[in-house]
Structure 1
Amino acid sequence: MPKIKTIFVCQDCGYESLKWMGKCPNCSEWNTMVEETKISNKKNDIKRVSVISSNNEPRNINKIKSGEYERYNTGINELNRVLGGGIVRGSLTLISGAPGIGKSTLLLQTANNIAKKYGKVLYVSGEESEEQIKMRGDRLGVLSDNLYVISETDLSKIESHIENSNSIFVVIDSIQTLFKDTVSSAPGSVSQVRECANDIMRIGKTRNISFFIVAHITKQGELAGPRVLEHMVDTVLSFEGERTEEFRILRTVKNRFGTTSEIGVFEMRQKGLLEILNPSQVFLEDTNFQKEGSIVIGVMEGTRPILIEIQALASRTKAVMPRRTAVGVDNSRLNLILAVLEKKLKIPFYNCDVYVNVVGGLEIEGTFGDLGLALSLVSSVKSLETKLKNLLVIGEIGLTGEVRPVSFCDRIVSEGKKMGFKNMLIPIRNKGKIKDNDINIIGVSSLKEALNKVF
Structure 2
Amino acid sequence: MPSREEKLYRCSACGYRSASWMGRCPSCGAWKSFEEALSEAAEDPIGEGEIERLSLDGFSPHPSRIATGSAELDRVLGGGLVPGSALLLSGEPGVGKSTLLLQVADAVALSTGRRAVYATGEESVHQVGERAARMGLKNPSVEVIASSKAEVLLRAAGSGVGLLVVDSVQTVGSSKLDSPPGTPSQVRAVAELFVRSCKERGFPLFLVGHITKEGLIAGPKALEHLVDVVLQMEGERSGSLRVLRSLKNRFGPTDELGLFEMTEEGLKPIENPYEHFVSPGEAPGAAVASLMEGRRPLFLEVQALLCQSAFPYPRRVAFGLSSSKLLILLAVLEQSLGLKRLRNMDVYVNVSGGIRPSDPAIDLAVCASVISALEGFPLSKGWAFCGEVGLSGEVKRARGMSSRLKEARRLGFKAVWANSDEADGTLARARDLRSLANAIRGGGDGR
- TM-score (norm. length: structure 1): 0.88
Query: CA offset at residue 2 of structure 1?
Result: 4.5
Structure 2: tracts of 5 or more residues without a match: 442-447
Equivalents in 1 of 2:45, 2:269: separation in Å?
A: 42
Q: 2:142 aligns with which of 139, 147, 150?
A: 147
Match of 1:451 among 437, 442, 447: 437
Match of 2:291 in 1: 299
Distance 1:249 1:39 in 2: 37
Residue 122 (str. 1) matches residue 114 (str. 2)? no
1:279-334: per-residue Cα shift (whole Å, max 9, x none)? 122112x2113x11111111011111111100112222253433222111122322
Give yes or no for the alignment of 1:381 onto 2:384: no
Structure 1 residue 145: Cα displacement: 2.3
In the TM superposition, what are the counterparts of 1:228-377 in structure 2 within 5 Å? 228-284=222-278, 286-289=279-282, 291-348=283-340, 349-377=342-370
Give how far 1:37 is off: 4.7
- The match for 2:445 is none
Deviation at 1:3, TM superposition (A): 6.2
Q: C-alpha separation between the residues in 2 aligned to 1:106 and 1:5?
A: 39
Of 53, 64, 74, the residue aligned with 2:68 is 74
Whole-angstrom CA distance in 1 between matches of 2:435 and 2:315: 29
**Cα gap change, 1:444/1:39 in structure 2, threshold over 3 Å: closer, same or farther?**
closer
- Tell me the residue number matched to 1:104: 98
Question: What is the identity, as a one-letter code, of the residue corresponding to 1:356?
Answer: V
CA displacement at 1:337 relative to structure 2:
1.2
Query: Equivalents in 1 of 2:184, 2:68: separation in Å?
Result: 31
Name the aligned partner's letter for residue 181 of structure 2: P
Which residue of structure 2 lines up, in the alignment, with residue 395 of structure 1?
387
- Percent of counterpart pairs with the same letter? 36
Report if aligned partners of 2:231, 2:244 keep a CA contact under 8 Å in 1. yes
Pair 1:227-2:221 in alignment: yes
The answer to whether the 8 A contact 1:4-1:37 is kept is no
CA distance in structure 2 between the partners assigned to 1:14 and 1:295 by the alignment? 51
Give the direction of change, closer, same or farther, for the CA distance of 1:344–1:16 in structure 2 (3 Å limit). Answer: farther
SS in 1 for 2:179: coil
Tell me which residue corresponds to 2:152. 157
Q: Tell me, what secondary structure is at the counterpart of 1:314?
A: strand
Provide the C-alpha distance between the structure 1 equivalents of 2:344 and 2:277, rounded to a whole number of angstroms. Answer: 32
SS of equivalent to 2:161 = coil
Counterparts of residues 400-411 of structure 1 (less than 5 Å):
400-411=392-403
Secondary structure, counterpart of 1:221 in structure 2 = coil
| Rounded Cα–Cα distance in structure 2 between residues aligned with 1:193 and 1:48 | 20
1:381: Cα distance to partner? 2.8
Report the number of matched residues: 433
* 2:444 paired residue number: none
**In structure 1, distance between residues paired with 2:47 and 2:263:** 46
Root-mean-square deviation (Å): 2.5
User: What one-letter code is carried by the residue in structure 2 that aligns with 1:447?
Assistant: L
Name the structure 2 match of 1:208: 202
Q: SS where residue 44 of structure 1 aligns?
A: coil
Contact 1:13 1:226 survives alignment (8 Å): no
Distance change >3 Å, CA 296–CA 180, structure 1 → 2 = same
1:138 partnered with 2:133: yes
Residue identity opposite 1:449 in structure 2: S
CA gap 1:344/1:97 in 2 versus in 1, 3 angstroms: same
SS of aligned partner of 2:170? helix
Q: What residue in structure 2 maps to residue 434 of structure 1?
A: 423
Which one of 162, 171, 177 corresponds to residue 177 of structure 1?
Answer: 171
Residue 87 of structure 2 aligns to a residue whose secondary structure is: strand
Q: Contact 1:241–1:247 at 8 Å: present in 2 too?
A: yes
CA contact (8 A) 1:75 1:110 kept: yes
Scaled by the length of structure 2, the TM-score of the pair is 0.90
Deviation at 1:435, TM superposition (A): 2.9
CA–CA separation in structure 1 for the residues paired with 2:299 and 2:321: 15
Distance 1:282 1:375, change over 3 A: same
Paired letter, 1:309:
E
Counterpart AA for 1:336: I
Q: Does 1:65 align with 2:21?
A: no
**Paired letter, 2:238:** T
Deviation (angstroms), 1:343: 1.6
Distance 1:186 1:276 in 2: 40
Aligned pairs for 1:24-35 within 5 A: 33=32
Q: What is the aligned partner in structure 2 of residue 187 from structure 1?
A: 181
TM-aligned CA distance change 1:132 to 1:423, over 3 Å: same
Q: 1:48 to 1:361 in 2, by over 3 A?
A: farther
Distance in 2 between the 1:138 and 1:63 partners?
47
Q: Deviations over 1:189-211 (max 9, x none)?
A: 10100001111111011111210
CA contact (8 A) 2:37 2:185 kept: no
Q: Are residues 294 and 232 of structure 1, via their aligned partners in 2, closer, same or farther at CA, if it must alter by over 3 Å? A: same
Q: 1:277, 1:413 → 2: CA distance?
A: 19
SS of 1:65 mapped into structure 2: coil
Maintained 8 Å contact 1:38/1:184: no
Confirm or deny: 8 A CA contact 1:311 1:357 kept in the other structure.
Answer: yes
Deviation at 1:156, TM superposition (A): 1.2
Match of 2:57, as an amino acid?
A: N
